[in-house]
Amino acid sequence: MYDINNNLVRDAVERHTSAKDIKSLVGEIGVLRSLFEKRVNNAGSDPELVQATPALKDLAIAIQKLVESTHSMDMKLGNVIGKQALVSLAHEIIQIIYTQLQPLADRVPQHDLDDAVEAIGTRIVDAIAEQENSG
């Protein structure tokens, strides 16, 4: 480890190394994206923006590498669920709902239960599709 004499830095290092999300780079990606945005917004003219290009390029490369590393790490840790697994999970959830509603069949017509479960299933599948399209 490092022998850091600066109290602010030493405390920050201790805080960051004891964090629960130590295997996540999402915060770092956010910081780099914020720096990129700030650098672009601080350029008040075209010449200033051109002058900032090397720094922007370095930030863009760093962001790209962190995003790729995060994706790779998520894949290795099993934090990413595939489309087919998600669809299978949705079908299982629908089956659980259907099974749990069956005791109500003597109080509610079966076709109403079937319609309700179908509507629930459609909403679950639509929600999954919406997440895929937005992410």
What is the DSSP annotation of the chain? ------HHHHHHHHHHHT-TTTT--HHHHHHHHHHHHHHHHH--SHHHHHHHHHHHHHHHHHHHHHHHHHHHHHHHHT----HHHHHHHHHHHHHHHHHHHGGGGGTS-HHHHHHHHHHHHHHHHHHHHHHHHH-
| Together in a domain, 55 and 87 | no
Among residues 55, 77, 99, the one where a domain terminates is 77
Q: What is the mean pLDDT of residues 77-98?
A: 81
Domain count along the chain:
2
| Together in a domain, 57 and 99 | no
| Together in a domain, 117 and 67 | no
**pLDDT above 80 (res 64):** yes
pLDDT band (50, 70, 90) for residue 58: very high
| Together in a domain, 70 and 18 | yes
| Together in a domain, 71 and 23 | yes
CA distance 44 to 46: 7
CA-nearest of 56, 61, 28, 30 to 43 is: 56
Q: What is the mean pLDDT of residues 66-80?
A: 80
Domain presence at residue 113: yes
| Together in a domain, 12 and 60 | yes
| Percent of the chain surpassing pLDDT 70 | 83
Domain presence at residue 1: no
Domain presence at residue 2: no
Domain presence at residue 124: yes
Residues 96-117: pLDDT tens digits?
A: 988 888 888 788 888 888 898 8
| Together in a domain, 66 and 87 | no
| Together in a domain, 113 and 54 | no
Domain ranges, residue 36 = 7-77
CA distance 135 to 121: 21
pLDDT value for 18: 66
pLDDT value for 89: 85
Residue 44's Cβ-side half-sphere holds a number of Cα atoms within 13 Å equal to: 0
| Together in a domain, 92 and 124 | yes
Pairwise pLDDT comparison (81 vs 115), residue with the higher score: 115
